[in-house]
């Protein structure tokens, strides 16, 4: 397995526009000891706009939600890069996903969040294994379909 950055390129993916790690009154990523806590991120395109909006089970389907979750994870990793020099220095610890669900009988939040989890496993291999929560919610900011936050451990500097 090559570098994480190389794996991202090989998959034809790009990071969203790099930010300074701050967003208003919050930080997009903060290092505490050997952990980096990453704020929730939406499905951001490389240029900064959101790639998807809408509710799962109404406006977008599970496949689109899966792709949105991938973009969320990639955006989170972009914020991790504001704290460390290389993604090759980290392992994924936990991922929490919020899925904007159209109704109380939409139960496929885990299928949607597999987009983030499977991408992390593909990029990081064993270092991408993580614990995960997939939560259904009735609304998310900007009507985005998925929001993902994570924590990673820095194992080398």
What is the pTM assigned to this prediction? 0.92
Indicate which CATH number applies to the domain containing 46.
3.30.1330.40
Dist. CA 88–CA 152, nearest whole Å: 12
Number of domains in the chain: 1
Which parts of the chain register pLDDT below 50? none
Residue 63: which domain range?
4-154
pLDDT of residue 20: 58
- Torsion angles phi and psi, residue 142, rounded to 5: 65, 15
pLDDT of residue 13: 82
Question: For residue 78, what is the enclosing H or E element?
Answer: helix 62-80
pLDDT of residue 14: 81
Residue-by-residue DSSP string for the chain: ---HHHHHHHTT--PPPP--SEETTEESEEEETTEEEEEEE--B-TTSSBS--S-BTTTB-HHHHHHHHHHHHHHHHHHHTTTSS-GGGEEEEEEEEEEEBSSTT---HHHHHHHHHHHHHHHHGGGG--EEEEEEES--GGG-SEEEEEEEEE---
pLDDT of residue 46: 84
């Amino acid at each position: 397995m090559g570098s994480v950055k190389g794996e991202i390129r090989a998959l034809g993916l790009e990071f969203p526009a790099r930010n300074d790690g701050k967003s208003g009154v919050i930080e997009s990523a903060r290092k505490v000891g050997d952990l980096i806590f990453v704020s929730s991120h939406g499905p951001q395109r490389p240029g900064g706009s959101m790639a998807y909006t809408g509710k799962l089970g109404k406006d977008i389907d599970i496949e689109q939600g899966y792709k949105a979750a991938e973009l969320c994870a990639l955006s989170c990793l972009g914020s991790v890069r504001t704290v460390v020099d290389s993604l090759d220095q980290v392992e994924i610890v936990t991922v929490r996903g919020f899925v904007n669900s159209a109704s109380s009988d939409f139960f496929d939040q885990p299928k949607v969040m597999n987009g983030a989890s499977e991408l992390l496993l593909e990029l990081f291999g064993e270092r991408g294994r993580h614990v995960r929560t997939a939560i259904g919610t009735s609304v998310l900011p900007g009507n985005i379909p998925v929001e993902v936050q994570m924590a990673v451990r820095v194992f080398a500097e």
